[in-house]
Chain A
Amino acid sequence: MALPASEVRAQHEQQKKKQWSMKYMKNKLFRYVCLFSALFLGIALFSIVIFISQTGFLVFKDVSWKEFFFSATWEPYEGKYGAAVFIAGTLYLTFLTLLISTPIALAVAIFISEIAPNWLKNVMRPMLDLLVGIPSIVYGYLGLTVLLPFIREKTGALVGDGFLAAALVLTLMILPTITRISDDAICAVPNYLREAGYALGSTKLQVISRIVLPAARSGILTAIILGMTRAIGETMAVVMVIGNTAQFGWDLITPTSVLTSNIVMQIINVQFHSTWNYALYMMAFLLLFISLVLIVIIRKLRPKGE
């Protein structure tokens, strides 16, 4: 027996309504899933900051902050926790690395974006991307087996470990990062600026140095800072060539230590609830703090609306 037409229509409508509401439910739900994913990253960052700082600040129960930041005696077995060597070491190493890598990276970026023919660009860019992917431990291994013997031979140092080796290894590691991001920044400079320069009779060098580079300034600065965060946080490659001794190594070829290398060398053998361990966490918190400050600086550099 067939249902009256009006009833069929009503049923149909109802079904359709149900479908519609399902569809909109899903639509809403998907939005919230995405929102939650994004929030999750924020939560992860905050829990990292909280966990690390909570453990780290416990160190100040036993050690005064003056000793921790300004004393250069790191002798955990005798209860002396001065981290000045490592803090200064990290800053010095980062500075050295940038000093070597920035000019090279800029030159390569300028070559790739302004001078190289297209086919060469298409070869060089993937190659640099590839370098980013090579494990840091392999860079450390190369430094250990190739660079250190070379330094020993050239300088007559006993072991060759120290800031020079670490800075060279780090240079190689952050070179692709700085190059690729500066390259992107230089390519983003609109062509009419270049053409205006050429039309006024400038040479390529003049266009690059007086128009393109100033226009790409904030992008290049971002690249350098990103390279810096990588250099500051790099652990395994540095550990293998720095020597891991708690002493200043200003002359570049004396074994020394930085924050990251000291943490990874000692954390494995330390009791969790000990001042020593807290001191190491405090050092990690310093690293975290420096990186986050650098990121905030990058965001301030960027023009609004991007």
Chain B
Amino acid sequence: MKDSLFHHHRKAITSAMYTNHLFHIFVTIVTATTFLFIIALLYTILGKGLPKLSIDFLFKLPDELEAGGGIGPFLFNSFYVLILSLLLSLPIGIGAGIFLAEYAPNNRFTEFVRTCIEGLASVPSIVFGLFGYVLFVEYVGIGLTIIGAAITLALLNLPVLARVTEEAIQAVPKDIREASLALGATKSQTVLKVVLPAALNGILTGISLVACRAFGESAIIILAGGTSTSGFMWDFNLLSQGGTLPVHLWYVQSEALVPDAKEIAEKSAAILVLIVLIISFTVRLPIWIQTLVAKLKTTPRQS
């Protein structure tokens, strides 16, 4: 009796369901472990550094030999270089995205441009850094500067911005465009006044991604901006050295002579993570609120 077709099938089905259960458990455990690990890491960085933070540390000048120095100029440079690079890359990156989404004909030329953009996105940051070094230190001859770092960093931002803009614009429904065109607007007016505002959410998310990446970039800064700063606060001179906070973290961790290097590194790492968290939250918050409001508005109608 045990060898009947019925028994055979039941056995196969039971074993299939059994493996299915195992698979469920396995995947869940792997995911849970991964996320616990991630949370533990964030907690380690923030927990070590944040309690020791003081306002003083954020704005004070660094000290080469004695304990108690701050990170003022490095933090300032980080934001300065970031903002400069965004100013340089936003118009071009968004322009390229608009071209790909709105104007690009479906031919070999467009294929080629797309390949170039993806290629640029995959260029290792160290190669960007070397490029910046050849360009600004060897050919232009201005040495390691803030402006050199910002321009090189802008190149890193460009392909991501172009891709994100393209995706955001493609997600805008066609009828809005047609309505605008039907009212007699030209294509450029339609794109600038109708499509771009509608795609703003997606573009903003993209910008926050880019900003986080540019803020944390260190290989480019070391090669094009240097590892130190001009040595005083609020130095807007574009030609002074452009060491940023991530570079300083590397420097402190590997070469610094100060006795409290470990503490400075802990605090710097915590600040880096904190700022990245803040950048991504401030950009996403309005979007979350929007979706929440939209949800609240639609729920009563459904019920």
Contacts and interface: CB of A to CB of B under 8 A. Distances in A.
A34 B96 contact: yes
A51 interface: yes
From B23, B189, B215, name the one whose CB has the most chain A CB atoms within 10 angstroms.
B23
Nearest to B223: A267
A15 to B, nearest CB: 17
A116 to B, nearest CB: 8
B95 A135 contact: no
Interface in B253-303: 253-254, 265, 269, 272-273, 276-277, 279-280, 284
Nearest to A34: B99
B116 interface: yes
Contact of A264 (B19, B115, B222): B222
Interface stretch (B50-58, B60-68, B120-128, B230-238): B120-128
Nearest to A146: B44
B134 interface: yes
Q: Is the interface of A mostly helix, strand, loop or mixed?
A: helix
B249 A141 contact: yes
B20 A204 contact: yes
Interface string A23-36: 11011011101111
A41 B17 CA distance: 52
A260 B222 CA distance: 13
A246 interface: no
A27 B35 contact: no
A129 B209 contact: yes
A189 interface: no
A42 interface: yes
From A226, A272, A288, name the one whose CB has the most chain B CB atoms within 10 angstroms.
A288
Interface string A50-85: 011001000000000000000000000000000000
Contacts of A191: none
A175 interface: yes
A281 B188 contact: no
Interface stretch (A1-9, A103-111, A151-159, A212-220): A103-111
Q: Kindly list the 7 A-B residue pairs having the minimum CB-CB distance in the complex, ordered from nearest.
A: A135-B216, A233-B124, A37-B95, A133-B212, A30-B188, A34-B99, A203-B20
